[in-house]
A and B are shown apart, each in its own frame.
Chain A
């Protein structure tokens, strides 16, 4: 019993040291440095554009997907976050609906649908699609907007991140940034 009472004091004070240094000083100094050196990144990588009437508007975050449904836009991944087994009947049904929706939007397209366009991401807000999924949509977007396919391709390229060091991870096309660019909202 005596030893318990003697140990309580250092136990409490150690936790205090961890709280002050690990919770306070560490968190605050990282926040301070982040706000000074990486203000855009530290605050959610928000995308602000100038609308036609000249007002500034936050239209989203570079890293958070938005839903696009019109054929003139690049379509992203489904925004469901199901946690379902890939073999389950429920997911299979969702997937079929999605395939039909994509086919109705672009009936002339005879290519195989890239898998990421019909499977949900882990976050439900994956901002990227694969380069294959972007190429799959070039013809449709160009036709809908009456512009050259090369122009669409160029815009997609501009917003494609490559693998880190050339091999780590997968290339990704940022759907929101491509669509903002297609609408001429990026400088």
Chain B
């Protein structure tokens, strides 16, 4: 228990310590202030702009910015779809894996383009090395960069006065890719390889086992490079089927730490970037603190349940719930990872969430359901959180009868419409999807568990897809035409409705005049506001999901008593 406490404190300290300099650095990437890496990369960067036919001064309004994001993602969707169905005749396929079904290809393409990385396939059996690196690794970079770009646009929107433009999407995309994602992934991937994460284009190996001399297949592939960006970009899609629980994807305590740190690093650092960008670092800090509080409470709740609420079996030493967890990760770093990955819209796992205790699993599911805003996805987490900030400002404004303002901008009807889209699209999609799945005949065949835990598998699956998380209660057999198609559509809508709403919000904010701060202005940096914000988040989440949760994990908890 002492070890677990030390592990959690150490993790938080390193996270906070690293997120501040990284956040300040990312501000330079966003604003164009000079830095060392830019000098080295400048020729390449300029070359890319020349190729694209754009330049840094060519700024876009919200409509053009949004159109660019959508078309860029659509290209990705088409390419990843085509790669998968035709992988049988494409190179770098030593295992001779055939093309996938059309519905699986659609689901996977939608999943990776939307930064969800829900996986209805298993990497080692369903995808060639070519599909993984040219299709999926690329979208790991691309979807992460788009998310961060939209956040940059929104930050500019708050800062600018009476201007229509919110930045150039192609410039944002290129700079985020070249100066943030590529260098961090490069360093991280090499550390992972040194620990034993595989990285080769060679075929799978076979071994003869020591006892019984049975043939054992050892799956390989260019994994480390993809795994590092999967964590940094809050993508989460594993190279192998069981994700970072698989020892060749996450072999040691150090590799576990590096990956776990990467899950929250960029989303946390973006709070600092935001504060710097709106020229009021306290604004970023207030959001950071609200996220931290929700995160810490969740870690404590999950760890407590896994440590003390596991099954008690006669003749077996009680050390917590080890089902579905690896020995070297233990209860401590498994629970911490599970919380981080569901808080951050990452979705990679180092233990199996379906084998968590009922209430431990409930916390994980709820973290997804409140909208992936506790750090959340890179960029998307913070623009989602900013929607909740505006909602809180709006509610507080109503209470005292004052026009709500945030960062000296009046919050008006159009802004609130965008906020509603941001806040309500994911829960609506989640609940409709889960309800539709429940009504399909033969859905029981897709489940591993029965009863309340079986329903939880479905609710978790649609919460995960409807909030772009990507993790699963993994017993659920998702590779079915209905689930693939509906799930794919939900992932796309859950990504692009909020994203476009954030872009139009940015455009509308940029157009406004600023208003002077007076005594009556609601402070959005003090602890009262942090408390209000947390309250609004929890209430919206609970109102949306309490009925569904009581049929799933809560019923599960009471049946097990």
Q: What residues on B are CB-neighbors of A4 within 8 Å?
A: 67, 71
Partner of B222, one of A21, A31, A99: A31
Q: Which of B173, B316, B475 counts the most A-chain CB atoms under 10 A from its CB?
A: B316
Q: Are A128 and B207 in contact (CB under 8 A)?
A: no
Please report the C-alpha to C-alpha distance between residue A14 and residue B253 in the assembled complex, in whole angstroms: 37
Asked if A101 lies at the interface with its beta carbon under 8 angstroms from chain B, I say no
Q: What residues on B are CB-neighbors of A38 within 8 Å?
A: 193-194
Q: Are B208 and A57 in contact (CB under 8 A)?
A: yes
Q: Are A58 and B206 in contact (CB under 8 A)?
A: yes
Q: In this complex, what residue of B is CB-closest to A136? A: B317
Taking residues whose C-beta sits less than 8 angstroms from the other chain, chain B's interface range is 35 or more
Which chain B residues (10-54) contact chain A, with CB distance < 8 Å? Answer: 10, 48, 51-54
Q: Are A63 and B248 in contact (CB under 8 A)?
A: yes
Q: Are A85 and B354 in contact (CB under 8 A)?
A: yes
Please report the C-alpha to C-alpha distance between residue A128 and residue B419 in the assembled complex, in whole angstroms: 48
Please report the C-alpha to C-alpha distance between residue A77 and residue B140 in the assembled complex, in whole angstroms: 34
Partner of B330, one of A23, A129, A170: A170
Q: Are A77 and B137 in contact (CB under 8 A)?
A: no
- Using known A-B contacts A34-B193, A86-B357, A167-B10, determine if residue A60 contacts B210 with beta carbons closer than 8 Å: yes
Asked if B315 lies at the interface with its beta carbon under 8 angstroms from chain A, I say yes
Can you list, as one digit per residue, whether each of B251-292 has a CB less than 8 Å from chain A (1) or not (0)? 111101100000000000000000000000000000000000
How many A-B pairs have beta carbons closer than 8 Å: the answer is: 337
Asked if A143 lies at the interface with its beta carbon under 8 angstroms from chain B, I say no
Shortest Cβ gap from B519 to chain A (Å): 46
Q: Are A115 and B319 in contact (CB under 8 A)?
A: yes
Q: What residues on B are CB-neighbors of A3 within 8 Å?
A: 63-64, 67
Q: What residues on B are CB-neighbors of A10 within 8 Å?
A: 52-54, 68, 170
Asked if B474 lies at the interface with its beta carbon under 8 angstroms from chain A, I say yes
Q: Are B75 and A11 in contact (CB under 8 A)?
A: yes
Q: Are A18 and B142 in contact (CB under 8 A)?
A: yes
Asked if B201 lies at the interface with its beta carbon under 8 angstroms from chain A, I say yes
Shortest Cβ gap from A129 to chain B (Å): 6
Asked if B121 lies at the interface with its beta carbon under 8 angstroms from chain A, I say no
Q: Are A23 and B317 in contact (CB under 8 A)?
A: no
Q: Are B316 and A30 in contact (CB under 8 A)?
A: no
Can you list, as one digit per residue, whether each of A114-147 has a CB less than 8 Å from chain B (1) or not (0)? 1110111111111111101000000000000000
Q: Are B311 and A31 in contact (CB under 8 A)?
A: no
Please report the C-alpha to C-alpha distance between residue A172 and residue B75 in the assembled complex, in whole angstroms: 46
Please report the C-alpha to C-alpha distance between residue A126 and residue B474 in the assembled complex, in whole angstroms: 17
Asked if A108 lies at the interface with its beta carbon under 8 angstroms from chain B, I say no
Q: Are B355 and A83 in contact (CB under 8 A)?
A: yes
Q: Are B141 and A116 in contact (CB under 8 A)?
A: no
Asked if A104 lies at the interface with its beta carbon under 8 angstroms from chain B, I say no
Q: Which of A8, A69, A161, A170 counts the most B-chain CB atoms under 10 A from its CB?
A: A170
Shortest Cβ gap from A161 to chain B (Å): 7
Q: Which of B182, B202, B319, B328 counts the most A-chain CB atoms under 10 A from its CB?
A: B328
Please report the C-alpha to C-alpha distance between residue A133 and residue B217 in the assembled complex, in whole angstroms: 27
Asked if B209 lies at the interface with its beta carbon under 8 angstroms from chain A, I say yes
Partner of A15, one of B79, B315, B321: B79
Q: What residues on B are CB-neighbors of A116 within 8 Å?
A: 322, 327
Can you name 22 A-B residue pairings with CB atoms under 8 Å?
A10-B68, A13-B52, A22-B229, A30-B189, A30-B225, A42-B200, A46-B218, A58-B208, A83-B324, A84-B355, A85-B449, A87-B357, A119-B325, A121-B327, A122-B325, A122-B326, A123-B242, A123-B245, A125-B246, A161-B252, A168-B333, A170-B327
Given A23-B134, A116-B322, A168-B7, 11 more pairs with CB closer than 8 A? A41-B198, A42-B198, A43-B198, A59-B209, A84-B448, A85-B358, A86-B357, A99-B316, A119-B323, A121-B324, A164-B254
Binding site for B on A (CB under 8 A): 3-4, 7-15, 17-19, 21-24, 26-27, 29-31, 33-35, 37-38, 41-47, 57-64, 66-70, 73, 77, 81-88, 91-92, 95, 99, 103, 112-116, 118-130, 132, 161, 163-165, 167-172, 176, 179-180, 183, 185
Q: Which 3 A-B pairs have the closest CB atoms?
A: A169-B253, A122-B245, A83-B475
